[in-house]
Amino acid sequence: MTLSREQIHSAFTAWNRAWERFELEGVLALMHDDVLFENWTGGKAVGKHALRKAWQPWFAQRAFRFVEEELFIDEKEQKVLFRWTLEWPCPEKEFQGKIEKRKGVDVIHLKDGKIINKLTYSKTTIDIDGRRHPLHL
């Protein structure tokens, strides 16, 4: 199944709304059963079941927000480039309790109208209180 540009845009609008409401099942609804998710650290989850298991604790916290910066849609290739800013409580010890802003991008491939690959990349700096800091792993 090939989606039109309008169908892709509509699907991603609904997908982003599910993220905003912390609705894991709504987010997973756009995922292919055989999805490959690779996060910004290189960690991977293969398959919708593994992705659900990996994301459940994160969604349960309800303490993050993705702000859409840009959405590029390639209808012919069935690909999406989603540029975002993540806002969440900073996990780094010296900044605990402060809101971290991290910029990133998802390279997304669709198959049969669903996300088959979601490859996430992010900056190696974070913004806290309007100042840039290096990200520590």
Which pLDDT score is estimated for 97?
83
Indicate the residue type of 130: G
pLDDT of 53 strictly over 80 = yes
pLDDT of 137 strictly over 70 = no
Distance CA 28, CA 10 (A): 15
Q: What is the mean pLDDT of residues 21-29?
A: 97
The more confident residue out of 135 and 134 is 134
Q: Which CATH number fits the domain 5-134, given the four candidates 1.10.620.20, 3.10.450.50, 3.40.50.300, 3.90.1010.10?
A: 3.10.450.50
Lowest mean pLDDT among 34-38, 67-71, 94-98: 94-98
Q: What is the mean pLDDT of residues 56-65?
A: 94
pLDDT tens digit string along 80-126?
999 999 999 988 788 888 999 999 999 999 999 999 999 999 988 88
Q: Where are the domains of the chain?
A: 5-134
Beta strand 99-111 with 114-122 is: antiparallel
Which pLDDT score is estimated for 126?
83
Burial label for 126, CB within 10 Å (0-12, 13-18, 19+), is buried
pLDDT of 136 strictly over 90 = no
HSE (side-chain half, CA atoms, 13 Å) at 132: 4
Please choose, from the candidates 131, 9, 130, 129, the residue with its C-alpha nearest in 3D space to the C-alpha of residue 78.
9
pLDDT of 133 strictly over 90 = no
pLDDT of 135 strictly over 80 = no
Mean pLDDT over the full length of the chain: 94
Residue 83, sorted as left (phi over 0), alpha (psi -120 to 50) or beta, turns out to be beta
